[in-house]
Amino acid sequence: DAGVTQSPTHLIKTRGQHVTLRCSPISGHKSVSWYQQVLGQGPQFIFQYYEKEERGRGNFPDRFSARQFPNYSSELNVNALLLGDSALYLCASIRGGSYEQYFGPGTRLTVT
Amino acid sequence: SQKIEQNSEALNIQEGKTATLTCNYTNYSPAYLQWYRQDPGRGPVFLLLIRENEKEKRKERLKVTFDTTLKQSLFHITASQPADSATYLCALSYNFNKFYFGSGTKLNVKP
């Protein structure tokens, strides 16, 4: 089976712009989580979605939003980008009943 | 808010020795504690999960302990190999709707 996939791999945006990041979970996984990882830090939890509903939300401003589609893929949207939003954005899917998170390779976002 | 502490200094050990990494947390104990491995530029890879009512979990050369009195988890790699060199992250969860990660400890295994 293919692992978690994310697109794009890299992205460069300007302050004030909007960005959409995409994630496809492992086949059969219904839950997706999003994380932001700044260099030298651990991943910071942003959102978790299960069956298209938000199940958890981290301490991030309202500029961050997400949604999950009927095929369980997910999008993370960030509005009004700030320089501090530059980070690796990770998506993880969770195997039902096991609580194991499987991470994708991430999207490297650079805001200039 | 929950604070998770992992040794920010890299751990350097000789091949064949046992590596022991520490994860300390504040506040109340989580329901689940996980350990991940992360290589540079890549996403974390799940290694082990331990529940609050479990003292120890093993998988091949890996062992995790969970002491809710000390609010600490220890992660051991026995017979370490240079290929084990990576950053190791611990993560806590109370209800699996939200996860808290530490900053990780970099392990260097020298041949």
Write out pLDDT tens, residues B68-107: 899 999 999 999 999 999 999 999 988 877 889 999 999 9
Any A CB within 8 A of B34 CB: yes
- The mean pLDDT of chain B is 93
Output phi, psi for A83, to 5 deg: -55, -35
Shortest alpha-carbon distance between residue B9 and chain A (Å): 12
Shortest alpha-carbon distance between residue B5 and chain A (Å): 11
Res A69: pLDDT: 96
Confidence of residue B28 (pLDDT cuts 50, 70, 90): confident
| Type and span of the H or E element at A64 | strand A64-68
Question: How do A53-57 and A44-50 pair as beta strands?
Answer: antiparallel
CA distance B79 to B9: 21
pLDDT at A89 over 90: yes
Which chain B residue has its CA at the smallest distance from A31's CA? Answer: B97
- The average pLDDT across B15-23 equals 97
Res B44: pLDDT: 96
Whether B99 and A45 lie within 8 Å, measured CB to CB: yes
Res A100: pLDDT: 87
Mutate to test the interface with B, among A45, A60, A102 (most CBs of B within 10 A): A45
Shortest alpha-carbon distance between residue B82 and chain A (Å): 21
Confidence of residue A1 (pLDDT cuts 50, 70, 90): low
Question: How do B11-14 and B105-110 pair as beta strands?
Answer: parallel
- The average pLDDT across B31-43 equals 93
pLDDT at A48 over 80: yes
Return the closest-CA partner of residue A94 out of A60, A37, A47, A41. Answer: A47
